Chain A
Amino acid sequence: MHDADRLFREYHAPLVRYLTRRLGDRDWAEEVAQETFLRALRQSALQNERAWLFTVATNLVRDAARTESRRRRHLELLAAEEQGRMVESPATEMERAEERAQARRALEQLAERDREALLMREEGLNYEEIAAALGVAVGSVGTTLSRARRRLVQAFEQTNGRSVGR
């Protein structure tokens, strides 16, 4: 059996961050991460732990997105009502929220595979791991990432109306 604690400590944070960026919802991200770790516990051995975890998490996201969008919208509405009762946010938080929304819109303009490759790379997966997770050739990862990065920056600048400062 794996050292579950070590697995959790090493990969939980980056996995949740990857999923949060992917999903835009930390609750959902943590639940998907949770399910991913559960599945990992059932494996007798993992050859490449990081690639395996990110692959499973990515597949879970794809599966969940197909069935959950309507129900999620309902929960978001409930949460939004609840948020309305909370302490009012300062102006800077509103600006950050707007930037977050713009980043989200820019990310959504990427093809799914490009988006996933980019988010995995941000979490430190190497090209071999990304290729394994996405089921693509290692030699194509560089091209995928270059395309994803360019598209993301362009989309953000179009949305934001200003340069990212690259």
Chain B
Amino acid sequence: MKHLDEGTIHAWLDGEPRRDADEIERHVAACAECAARVAEARGLIAGSSRILSALDDVGSGIVPGGGGGGGETIVVKTIRIRPMRIVGWLAAAGLVVAVGVRTVADSRTVGTAVTATTTTTATTTAAPATPVAKAPAAVVNEPAKPEAGKIAAAKVETTKVAAVAVAAAAAAPTAKGLSLQNVVVTGVAEQRRTASAEVTATTAAELGRVPVCFAPVSANAMKQASDLSAANQPRAAFAGRVLMFDSTPAAAEPAAAQLAGSVFRQLRDSGVVIGAWRRLGTDSVELRAAGLVTRAALMGGGISIDGTTWRRSVCPPKGP
């Protein structure tokens, strides 16, 4: 067998299926030169993996919140809104599929305090084609642990965000200092009803046996809407977007059910965001999508963000 070229060596070390794998192994055992090349290749593979792992310590700019007695404070990150292509997004929204409720009962957590979340972030200013002027500092923050055994209704403590897009206002960042609270209220009011109705009809058809509706999104209307059956999903407006997520477990289920990794869809005025949420305790969840992290309190079949409770809403009657 001839000496092995580097490509062959790396493919062999990477475990790629090869018909001559046994032959290669015998050759490496017998040829000192190729054995040295293999050793070097192993080092390069390990070294490059180590180097690349250093790139993983990049946070999403989560801004730490302060602790508060008796209540969780919410960490809200810098919201970076970038214009995403809008073409076909309403059609894409029609493909949103309701996420079935996944409940994993964890009796060990019943009655215990919410686990504090430690967020470690380090945001790099390096862009692919832009030299890094400075290495930004990383931040480690841990929200204050709530009182043991007490999980008060979580409050969303807003922090300043560097760039925020208000719903229907496209993607230009707003002025710095706009609080999340303002965004929630303002964004909801600006949702276009026409778009909501279109999404409602399409989404209900796509979801089949789990109709999910996007009710008129004025804050007052949502507050006053009556509850749906357990099969339907609650929605809320969050940061100017309509948010839908897995329904909370039925009242009969253990209150501390964990829904780690559950997927929710976050419907913007012009598209859909896929994210994840996890239950933090008996009455709070952490929502994470597109660099957005926040917590919301679960209250009576809905969620509460920034003091506003969003309840499930009935589906609007279909036209003749």
Bound-state Cα–Cα, A165 to B274, Å: 40
Bound-state Cα–Cα, A105 to B130, Å: 10
Q: Mark contacts of A155-166 with chain B using CB atoms, 8 A cut-off: 1 yes-contact digit, 0 otherwise.
A: 010000000111
Chain B interface bracket (under 10, 10 to 19, 20 to 34, 35 or more): 35 or more
Bound-state Cα–Cα, A21 to B96, Å: 29
User: Of A96, A103, A150, which is in contact with the most chain B CB atoms at under 10 Å from its CB?
Assistant: A103
Bound-state Cα–Cα, A106 to B80, Å: 27
Query: Is the CB–CB distance between A86 and B132 below 8 Å?
Result: no
B 38-58 contacts with A by CB, 8 A: 40-52, 54-58
Interface size on A, residues (CB 8 A): 83
Give the chain B neighbours of A156 by CB distance below 8 A. 47, 51
Query: Is the CB–CB distance between A104 and B47 below 8 Å?
Result: no
A135 interface residue (CB < 8 Å to B)? no
Give the distance to chain A from B246, nearest Cβ to Cβ, in Å. 10
Give the distance to chain A from B5, nearest Cβ to Cβ, in Å. 7
How many residue pairs link A and B with beta carbons under 8 A? The number is: 258
Query: Is the CB–CB distance between A103 and B97 below 8 Å?
Result: no
Give the chain A neighbours of B92 by CB distance below 8 A. 38, 41-42
Q: Mark contacts of A25-53 with chain B using CB atoms, 8 A cut-off: 1 yes-contact digit, 0 otherwise.
A: 11110110011011001100000000000
Query: Is the CB–CB distance between A27 and B290 below 8 Å?
Result: yes
The segment from B118-126, B146-154, B237-245, B304-312 that touches chain A is: B118-126
Bound-state Cα–Cα, A30 to B290, Å: 5
Query: Is the CB–CB distance between A25 and B58 below 8 Å?
Result: yes
Bound-state Cα–Cα, A139 to B176, Å: 51
Bound-state Cα–Cα, A140 to B289, Å: 37
A9: contacting residue among B97, B173, B261, CB under 8 A? B261
Give the distance to chain A from B314, nearest Cβ to Cβ, in Å. 25
B126: contacting residue among A26, A101, A149, CB under 8 A? A101
In the assembled complex, 29 residue pairs joining A and B whose CB atoms fall closer than 8 Å, in A order, are A5-B100, A12-B274, A20-B55, A26-B60, A31-B84, A34-B273, A34-B274, A38-B271, A69-B128, A72-B82, A75-B162, A78-B162, A79-B163, A82-B161, A83-B61, A86-B64, A88-B137, A97-B122, A100-B135, A108-B128, A119-B52, A122-B52, A141-B11, A142-B7, A142-B10, A145-B10, A146-B6, A147-B6, A149-B47
| Known contacts A86-B137, A93-B138, A149-B47; 8 further A-B pairs (Cβ under 8 A) | A30-B60, A73-B130, A82-B61, A83-B61, A89-B140, A152-B48, A165-B50, A166-B46
Q: Which residues in A have some Cβ–Cβ distance to B below 8 Å?
A: 1, 4-5, 8-9, 12, 17, 20-28, 30-31, 34-35, 37-38, 41-42, 65, 68-69, 71-76, 78-83, 86-90, 93-94, 96-108, 118-119, 121-122, 126-127, 139-150, 152-153, 156, 164-166
